[in-house]
Homo-oligomer: A and B are copies of this chain.
């Protein structure tokens, strides 16, 4: 086992009616900025619950945060924060709203000249941030209980990540009932996103971390078990609750403790979103089987362990096939061609971007731009 430091101070308020607890968690001393996305929270009753819970608070609103939240949008929110002396940021929505809120929280206290520096340094430039909390209405990203965010810059087709202990939410409310009205596609995306978050912290090589392995496999097994159920029965509370808690545990940094990680699939996937506008999870489902096939020998022991424990398969290649089949069962395509994208075009675009930035990926840090291109060429 590798040495590690683990700290996750986010308070999780989980279950039916928990939005009512919001009032006691947010200070009334300064105005609160309520951030949200396209307005679904006004249709599904979440907005009303939040406003009721904060009826003694001064609440300013900023809506319109898009999927794959844009830097340009965040800067507009930042102006609202500064103009209103905001003391607390409350994200209400999915991972995109939360990610944007984390960046805005850091940017509000950033003392440098250009807040893009926060993203360019991957979050290392963050030394202070406004406190934030969330009402998470889309189980997927785990953003409700970590210090990570991904922001896209429209002008340059860049999608960059930040990670900092300073932007963990103080609390996150997770009420499965707030997710009953989600479109099927978002639920499907969320299941795949959570599944692959686990994989990025698990599918490397054996590292004498048996408990971490079993925790990771527990989340995978639960997603395999409840994923199809929660897609077929959106109002099945127990299935949705199990999915929601799985998505949080998939990326609250617990299963990463003491083990090697490989975020190759996310690194390549981010570029596919930046170039072609695919949903985050759609890119992951395309890239993951390609990364595994490319790294078959070096990941063989873990692929076999995963296959045996989760799918009852006998070989690494069978484990890969079972995984791709699982994505299909959820209605998730796994090929570039399914979106009309030429593999050669994607391979060349990503190769050029990785080469320009000298990006190296993989748990050994030795997969370069050509390797990324080779992986994408197999995903036609």
Contacts and interface: CB of A to CB of B under 8 A. Distances in A.
Nearest to A243: B211
B210 A242 contact: yes
Interface stretch (A4-12, A35-43, A273-281): A4-12
**How many identical chains are in the complex?**
2
A53 interface: no
Contact of A6 (B14, B214, B237): B14
Contacts of A257: 12, 14, 245
Contacts of A212: 245
Contacts of A217: 214, 218
Contacts of A241: 1, 208, 258
Contacts of A254: 254
Interface in A1-41: 1-18, 21
Nearest to A240: B1
Nearest to A245: B211
Interface in A224-277: 225-226, 237-238, 241-242, 245-246, 249, 254, 257-258
Nearest to A244: B1
Nearest to A5: B13
Interface residues on A, range: 35 or more
A5 B12 contact: yes
A133 B233 CA distance: 46
Contact of A242 (B1, B6, B17, B245): B1
A242 B14 contact: no
A209 interface: yes
A158 to B, nearest CB: 33
A370 interface: no
A215 interface: yes
A104 to B, nearest CB: 24
B1 A18 contact: no
A49 interface: no
A225 B210 contact: yes
Nearest to A3: B15
Given A214-B222, A218-B214, A219-B211, A258 B14 contact: yes
A271 to B, nearest CB: 32
A18 B6 contact: no
Contacts of A225: 210
Given A210-B225, A222-B214, A4 B14 contact: yes
A164 interface: no
A221 interface: yes
B249 A211 contact: yes
Interface centre among A2, A13, A242 (most CB of B within 10 A): A242
A80 to B, nearest CB: 30
A238 B3 CA distance: 11
Contacts of A208: 238, 241-242
Nearest to A242: B210
B1 A5 contact: no
4 smallest A-B Cβ distances: which pairs?
Answer: A3-B15, A214-B218, A208-B238, A7-B11
Interface of A: 1-18, 21, 208-212, 214-215, 217-219, 221-222, 225-226, 237-238, 241-242, 245-246, 249, 254, 257-258
18 contacts: A3-B14, A4-B12, A4-B14, A5-B21, A6-B12, A6-B14, A7-B10, A7-B11, A12-B257, A210-B222, A211-B222, A211-B242, A211-B249, A212-B245, A214-B218, A214-B221, A245-B257, A245-B258
